[in-house]
Chains A and B, each alone.
Chain A
Amino acid sequence: MTLTNSKGYKQVIKWLKLNKKKPFKFQTDAWQYYAEGYSGLVNAPTGFGKTFSLFLAVVVDELNKRAEREAIILKDKTAKKSDKKFKHETGLKLIWITPLRSLAKDLARAMREVCDELELDWMVGVRNGDTSQSEKLKQKKQMPEVLIITPESMHLLLAQKSTFNYFEHLQCIVADEWHELLGSKRGVMAELAISRIKGLLQEKQPERLLRIWGISATIGNIDQALDVLVPYDDLPKAIIKADIEKKIVIKSILPDHIDMLPWAGHLGHKLAEKLLPIIYKSKTTLIFTNTRGQAELWYQTLLAKDENLAGQLAIHHGSIDYELRNWIEDSIHSGVLKAVVSTSSLDLGVDFKPVDTVVQIGSPKGVARFLQRAGRSGHSPYETSTIYFLPTHALELVEAAAIKEAARTQNIESREPMVMSFDVLIQYLVTLAVGDGFDDEKIFFEVKQTHAFRELLPQEWNWIMQFITTGGDSLTAYTEFSKVKKIEGLWKVESRQMAMRHRLHIGAIVSDAMIKVKYLTGGFVGMVEESFVSKMKPGNSFTLAGRVLEFIMIKEMMVMVRKSKQKTAMSPSWMGGRISLSSNLGSILRKKYNETLDKTHDDEELDFVLPLFERQAKVSHVPKDDEFLIELINTKDGYHFFAYPFEGRQVNEIMASLIAYRLGRVKPISFSIAMNDYGFELLSEQPIPLDEANIKQLFSPVNLSDDIIASINATEMARRKFRDIACISGLVFQGYPGKYVANKHLQSSAGLFFNVFTDYDKHNLLLRQAYDEAFYQQIEEPRLAAALHRIQASKVVIINTDRYTPLCFPIKVDSLRDNMSSEELGKRIERMTAEAEKKSSARKTKRFKQEDEET
């Protein structure tokens, strides 16, 4: 019988018809593939019912199974209604993994509605960090048929005893918003959990076919995304791509004249006037900023411009209290709010129906992120998403034009999946040991099948097993170590205390030390970094969640505040790495530079910035995409060397250090380094030994790895990476915000472990992982090499001038300086001491605040 003739299919179609709906082709395709036993990935724009493509597939399958069984029973005349056979088997059928807790509530509601209307007696449950203890107990007795869960909670399930009972009737695992999980360690957690559940089923129910599906937005490496989720050769797989295009309109907010836009900056406040009319004419506007600090500032600016917005304007970001955020989200739903200033905390998530306009302030740095944000408006099928781009400086208008082109040509970034995350693997193995215990041979086989650990070597596995059982390898005997032990053939954690501690620390999100902010009169406002609080004195004011607060004291690990009488105050800077321009956007950007002067485009933004480009062409040169521009500028500050690879600040920074190092080999010279997303600057007091002849050699990809190691402080970078690794692998306990760590006598820091392993256990795999992560994520060696190859093939244009150009100006202003120094430690200390003395006697210099990047 074909699917379309089946009873379940007809029933679902009939129900859709009643609601005046018709399934999209990609949805029926998904049902068909599902019925045929496929696993796979659904790729469709937001607002077209991606959820239903898979949820209904499972429902149709269930309805058909029931119909079949009833048919068999009806034939059997001897059967009685009271027979056990008539009863449908209950228990978990579908696991629905979502990256965000906030999504779960609405998903569950939607699924329950479907079940009710189709008269399917399924329960839909939610399990994540917000689930109450009583609800969890209820689930333990009777699992719901559908469980919406986070990767962390899946691991927590595996950390329980007699895990298999939960999965006895499991049919399918769906990973929703898979593009979000892919590329993070949480994705690796999902991969591992799936491998175990699949393994358990194979063991106990070998005849059962477990389907694994993902739902993903468009990304550059969609095939790989499927391979990561379903690496299994025994499962047939398919990618279902919706043949529907989401209409997106991108408009730039332009000032009346180009001179009103600064050459450099990151706030864009001057355009606030232009933003107000857009807010007025829209139902609800989401205003996205790149950083939490920027969000706080924009919230205040808008209120200052129009006091009537008070009560209709809200601010939403990751450091705002959970309850408060919930209230804001509900208010967006009900349409009470006119506008919300937000960071990426609202990138994902439930549909906000009243939102019809989205504004992006400043460069979104990547195409995927921009489109995701655009999609937050006009959520229903065939509705148009409208997004306004508000530039913070003139050159960002070129980015707007580049984004438009990328959106048109669907040139969207890839998400690189994480591999060889030993920290996650160690956590996972201890999780299994805390649960039912594990058989190392079996688990090695399962782990090796996952995408993340495909390249895992037996000796690496042995090292990890030793690490969790004996502490270290035989050379560095770890006496008295105890954690995982072999009991009746299985590796287990025996100590209840250790098991409890481990369960509390399952997860791969490591947050900074945050401290809660609370009103004296009660009520939480949000969280700020501990380091920010330590600088506060009683009576000082700061802004959080759009409120001006007066610091009173720290009590019981909480910042106590009251409302301040001041109108403005400093906003806390939440630390975090800045997001770098993606290489996709960089390359389109280079192309747009061509088009601006040639006028071979129809972007109003490029017309608008033309005067700036003409100025650049007059005093220097506008690089074409097959050219590589270097500006040598001599001012009273010294000798400046500007180069423009357009590779994003991260790669530009490493390239700057590399070139500084190579120049230092020509003659001893010291530089200070600055960079932004477009280019970098080397500044020296002496002339820079550079000419047409040696320039290509300087930017050569030959000997790259060695020169990188010699030029940057790789140890420092690895040490920073090790912070997360130490937490995830269970060496360091991450306290909860506002809570003391219970085991104070076991507290230590990641830095301490980094030192100890460096000194006494050089072969530690976690140490190696830290260096690998630094090399591939921080230094992005492959991208750097590609950029150098491109530069080799380009025509180098060297311009000598005596004044700053429009291109170099933002680098001059925006960047935080870094020093390239080959001085030895002792000298450095001497110099720093001398500098510090100078500083305290001199007037206070203006400090550039480091902005955070919201995650």
Chain B
Amino acid sequence: MTINCREEALILSKEKAIYWAAKRMLIISDLHIGKSAHFRKHGLQVPDAVGHTDLRRLSRLMAEFDAETLLVTGDMFHNKINSDANAFLEWRKSYPELRIVLIKGNHDALKNEDYEALDIEVYQKELLCAPFRFIHDKPKEFDEYYNISGHIHPGVVLYGRARQQLKFPCFYFSDTCAVLPAFSVFTGLFMIKREVGDSFYAVTPEKVVKV
């Protein structure tokens, strides 16, 4: 699905990514690489396949869009370097030309040399790229830039008659900011209340639907 945001065409992919064709930029958020291994280290049984799936999906996106830049709006890594991060290192090697940009999120706690080794450009707070500001969590005050962020893992609930309920991850667009769904399959959802002027794009297994 292609939408228009501040006169820029953005493609919303069902793989929970935005493709900004004009800049050949693939934007994702909350990848949480290493989360499943982090859980395993602490005695919680999360299958390895979870992390591998995320990387496979990322490869699919790379094949679908001709991206020059992969921009991650925070929480790319969960905690520390572990076996999942090593799998990412392998993945990185197959895309040597790709520019990876990370705006740090609250979970991104790798050492600087780790980012260097992975050839990732790191921004501590935000990246301005008119008309957008890329930032992990939306700022408290708004200016002329339209904010594109992540962090909250947005979800939307659809209610039907007879107490029917369906929950989906979603892209959320308000007047001042957009929030990307969390990329990783091993993440929960935070349900957002609808307010005037908001748009929701639910991510279903088949496609992205405006709801």
Contacts and interface: CB of A to CB of B under 8 A. Distances in A.
Contacts of B211: 829, 833
B4 interface: no
A826 B45 contact: no
Contact of A482 (B41, B79, B161, B186): B41
Nearest to A477: B48
A756 B47 contact: yes
Contact of B188 (A672, A752, A832): A752
B47 A480 contact: no
Contact of A731 (B44, B206, B209): B44
Contacts of A804: none
A128 B143 CA distance: 57
B202 A749 contact: no
B21 to A, nearest CB: 26
Interface string A799-843: 000000000000000001111000001101101110110000000
A828 B162 CA distance: 13
A749 B83 CA distance: 23
Interface string A473-510: 00011111111000000000101001000000000000
Interface in A159-195: none
Contacts of A593: none
Given A472-B47, A760-B47, A829-B202, A480 B163 contact: no
Interface string A179-218: 0000000000000000000000000000000000000000
A479 B78 contact: no
A497 to B, nearest CB: 8
A825 B47 CA distance: 28
Nearest to B211: A833
A106 B162 CA distance: 47
A828 B82 CA distance: 42
B92 interface: no
A756 B162 CA distance: 28
Given A481-B45, A731-B45, A836-B159, A756 B50 contact: yes
B107 A829 contact: no
Q: Which of A479, A751, A755, A817 has the most CB of B within 10 A?
A: A479
A440 interface: no
A755 B205 CA distance: 13
Q: Which of B161, B202, B205, B209 has the most CB of A within 10 A?
A: B161
Contacts of B160: 819, 828, 831-832, 835
Interface in B180-211: 185-188, 202, 204-206, 209, 211
Interface stretch (B32-40, B60-68, B118-126): B32-40
B41 A481 contact: yes
A743 B44 CA distance: 13
A590 B132 CA distance: 70
Contacts of B38: 745-746
Contacts of A817: 161-163
A749 B188 contact: yes
Given A477-B48, A756-B50, A832 B163 contact: no
B188 A480 contact: no
Contacts of B79: 745
Interface residues of B, number: 38
A467 interface: yes
Given A479-B40, A482-B43, A826-B204, A745 B48 contact: no
A480 B83 contact: yes
B49 interface: yes
A745 B49 CA distance: 20
A482 B40 contact: yes
Nearest to B191: A534
A761 B161 contact: no
A477 B40 CA distance: 11
A481 B38 CA distance: 9
B158 A832 contact: yes
B166 interface: yes
A761 B186 CA distance: 14
Contacts of B159: 832, 835-836
Given A476-B49, A479-B48, A752-B187, A828 B37 contact: no
A74 B13 CA distance: 92
A815 to B, nearest CB: 10
B189 to A, nearest CB: 9
By secondary structure, the B interface counts as loop
A746 B164 contact: no
A760 B40 contact: no
A45 interface: no
A471 interface: yes
B107 A745 contact: yes
B42 interface: yes
Given A817-B161, A819-B164, A828-B160, A752 B45 contact: no
Interface string B119-163: 000000000000000000000000000000000000000111111
Contacts of B98: none
Given A482-B41, A818-B163, A819-B160, A826 B49 contact: no
A748 interface: yes
B166 A832 contact: yes
Nearest to B47: A760
Contacts of B41: 480-482
Contact of A672 (B82, B162, B204): B162
B158 A467 contact: no
Contacts of A730: 43-44
Contacts of B186: 748, 752, 756
B11 interface: no
A506 to B, nearest CB: 15
B45 A818 contact: no
A495 B44 CA distance: 13
A193 to B, nearest CB: 22
Contact of A748 (B39, B161, B166, B202): B39
Nearest to A825: B204
Nearest to B43: A483
Interface string A730-751: 1100000000000101101101
Interface in B46-72: 46-50, 53
B14 to A, nearest CB: 12
A670 to B, nearest CB: 11
Contacts of B188: 748-749, 751-752
B47 to A, nearest CB: 4
A437 to B, nearest CB: 16
A779 to B, nearest CB: 19
A151 to B, nearest CB: 23
A479 B83 contact: yes
Given A471-B40, A481-B41, A483-B43, A819 B49 contact: no
A761 B53 CA distance: 13
B47 A761 contact: yes
A826 B160 CA distance: 13
B6 to A, nearest CB: 26
B168 to A, nearest CB: 8
B83 A746 contact: no
Contacts of B202: 829
B44 A746 contact: yes
Contact of A498 (B43, B46, B164, B185): B43
A831 B50 CA distance: 33
Contacts of A498: 42-43
Contacts of B47: 471-472, 476, 478, 756-757, 760-761
B119 to A, nearest CB: 24
The 4 closest A-B pairs by CB, nearest first: A483-B43, A760-B47, A832-B160, A481-B40
21 contacts: A478-B45, A478-B48, A480-B37, A498-B42, A746-B42, A748-B39, A751-B188, A753-B46, A759-B185, A760-B53, A816-B163, A817-B163, A818-B162, A819-B162, A825-B204, A826-B204, A829-B204, A832-B158, A833-B211, A835-B161, A836-B159
Interface of B: 37-50, 53, 78-79, 82-83, 107, 158-164, 166, 185-188, 202, 204-206, 209, 211
Given A478-B46, A481-B43, 9 more contacts: A467-B45, A482-B43, A731-B45, A746-B38, A759-B53, A818-B162, A828-B166, A829-B211, A832-B164
